[in-house]
Amino acid sequence: MAGEWTIRELARKAGVSRKSVWAWIDAQGWARPVSGPWILDGERARLVLERFEQTAPLRTPREPVPCSIEGCERTRAGLQDMCKMHYQRRLRTGRTERSSGGDWQTAKTHCPAGHEYRPENIYRFPSDVGTRRRCRTCRIAQSSVSKKPS
- Cβ-contact 74, 85 below 8 angstroms: yes
Identified binder of Zn ion from the candidate list 27, 113, 129, 145, rule CB under 5 A: 113
| DSSP summary character for residue 60 | -
Q: Which is nearer to Zn ion, 47 or 138 (CB)?
A: 138
43-72 binders of Zn ion (CB under 5 A): 67, 69, 72
By CB under 5 A, residue 34 contacts Zn ion: no
Least separation in angstroms between CB 98 and Zn ion: 11
Q: Render 113-145 in DSSP notation, one character per residue.
A: TS-B--GGGEE--TT--TT--EEHHHHHHHHHH
Distance CA 100, CA 31 (A): 66
What x-and-dash track marks residues 77-96 binding Zn ion by CB under 5 A?
-----xx--x----------
Identified binder of Zn ion from the candidate list 51, 90, 115, 133, rule CB under 5 A: 115
